[in-house]
Amino acid sequence: MSDRTMTAQEIESMTGWKRSSKQVQWFLEQFGVRVATRSDGSPVMTWLNFNALNAKRLGLSSTGQAPKKRLVLVSDGEQR
């Protein structure tokens, strides 16, 4: 993964929107986050953050591994 900042063209391709306000809205709707913006209102996103947001949305940890499951022991009711 790279922490390179996404280009304006990459963000447009990812969101499907040309207008910065719509791109910011897309990130909020898709990931529930308000992205940082430049003084002109255009969103700023790194590939590292974007991939982490996607992993979280898919239920994966930021390391790309599935979350750990807890083992729960259930008694069958008999005392031993």
The percentage of residues in the chain with a pLDDT greater than 70, rounded to a whole number, is 72
**Tokens (6 digits) for 59:** 């239920």
Over range 36-57, report the average pLDDT.
93
Is 24 a member of any domain? yes
Tell me whether residue 27 is in a domain: yes
Q: Which is nearest to 29 in space by CA: 67, 61, 57, 59?
A: 57
Task: Kindly state the average pLDDT of the residues 70-76.
Answer: 62
Give alpha helix (H) positions in the chain: 8-15, 20-31, 47-57
Is 30 domain-assigned? yes
What is the predicted pLDDT for the residue at 57?
86
In a domain, 73, yes or no: no
The answer to whether position 39 is within a domain reads yes
Question: How many domains does the structure of the chain reveal?
Answer: 1
Give the range of the structural domain holding residue 37, as residue numbers without chain letter: 8-57
Quick one: what percent of the chain has pLDDT higher than 90? Answer: 64
Global pTM reads: 0.70
